Chains A and B, each alone.
Chain A
Amino acid sequence: MPGTETKHKVRDVNVRMLRGGSGPPLLFLHGANGLPVWLPVFELLSKQFEVFVPEHPGFGTSDNPAWLRNIGDLAMYYLDFLDEFGPHEVHVVGQSLGGWAAAEAATRNCSRIKTLSLLGPAGIRIKGLPSGDNFIWSPEEAVRNLYHNQAIPDQILAMQPTDDQADILLTNRFATAKFGWEPRWYNPSLERWLHRITVPTLVMWGKEDKLFPSAYAARWGERIPGSRVEIVPECGHVPAVEKPEITAKEIIRLYAGTR
Chain B
Amino acid sequence: MQFTFFHLMPYRPLNMAERHKHKAAWVVLPNTLYDPKKGADEYQSYIDQLVYAEKLGFDVIAVNEHHQTAYGIMPAPNLIAANLIARTTKAKIAIIGRALPLVNNPVNIAEEFAMLDNLSRGRIITGFVRGIGNEYHSTGINPHWSHERYQEAHDLIVQAWTKPGPTSFEGEHFNVRYVNIWPRPYQTPHPEIWIPSMGSSETVKWAAAPERKYPFLVTFSSRELVARYLNVYRDQAKQYGYEASPDQVGWASPVYVADTDERARKEAKEGIETLFNDFLAVPFQMLLPPGYMSLPSMKNTMRMRKALGAQKRLTMEELAESGTVVVGSPQTVRDQLARLRDETRAGKLITMLQFGTLSDELTKRNMEMFASEVMPHLRN
Contact = CB atoms under 8 A, between A and B. Distances in A.
A136 B137 contact: yes
A184 B140 contact: yes
A174 B285 contact: no
B141 A182 contact: yes
B184 to A, nearest CB: 33
A193 interface: no
Contacts of B140: 181-182, 184
B203 interface: no
Nearest to A177: B290
Given A136-B137, A173-B290, A181 B295 contact: no
Report the contact-size class of chain B (Cβ under 8 Å from the partner).
Answer: 20 to 34
B291 A170 contact: no
Given A136-B137, A181-B143, A174 B295 contact: yes
A208 B334 CA distance: 61
Contact of B137 (A135, A139, A173): A135
Report the contact-size class of chain A (Cβ under 8 Å from the partner).
Answer: 10 to 19
A138 B306 CA distance: 15
B27 A174 contact: no
Contacts of B298: 170, 174
Nearest to A176: B290
Contacts of B306: 166
B299 A170 contact: yes
B143 A167 contact: no
A166 B290 CA distance: 14
B377 interface: no
B36 interface: no
Interface string A148-183: 000000000000000100110011011011100110
Nearest to A171: B295
B163 interface: no
A165 to B, nearest CB: 11
Contact of A136 (B141, B142, B285, B303): B285
B87 interface: no
Contacts of B291: 174, 177-178
A174 B303 contact: no
Contacts of A177: 142-144, 289-291
A170 B142 contact: no
B181 to A, nearest CB: 27
Nearest to B290: A177
B241 interface: no
A137 interface: yes
Nearest to A139: B285
B142 A178 contact: yes
B309 interface: no
B69 to A, nearest CB: 14
Interface in B131-157: 136-137, 140-144
A67 to B, nearest CB: 11
Chain A interface, DSSP helix/strand/loop, else mixed: helix
A135 B138 CA distance: 12
B116 interface: no
A173 B289 CA distance: 9
A167 B141 CA distance: 24
Interface string A170-213: 11011011100110100000000000000000000000000000
Given A163-B303, A167-B299, A177-B142, A136 B27 contact: yes
Interface string B273-287: 000000000010110
A170 B297 CA distance: 11
B144 A181 contact: yes
A174 B290 CA distance: 5
A185 to B, nearest CB: 12
Nearest to A179: B144
B87 to A, nearest CB: 39
A182 B139 CA distance: 10
Interface string B191-214: 000000000000000000000000
A174 B144 CA distance: 7
A142 B28 CA distance: 17
Contact of B142 (A166, A167, A171, A181): A181
A24 B299 CA distance: 40
B141 A135 contact: no
B302 interface: yes
A166 B295 CA distance: 12
Nearest to B286: A136
Contacts of B143: 177, 181
Contacts of A171: 295
Contacts of B28: 136
Nearest to A173: B290
Contacts of A142: 285
Interface string A86-123: 00000000000000000000000000000000000000
B202 to A, nearest CB: 15
Contacts of A166: 299, 302-303, 306
A139 B137 CA distance: 16
A163 B137 CA distance: 27
Nearest to A160: B306
Interface of A: 135-139, 142, 163, 166-167, 170-171, 173-174, 176-178, 181-182, 184
17 contacts: A135-B290, A136-B286, A139-B285, A163-B303, A166-B306, A170-B295, A171-B295, A173-B290, A174-B291, A174-B295, A177-B142, A177-B143, A177-B289, A177-B290, A181-B136, A181-B289, A181-B290
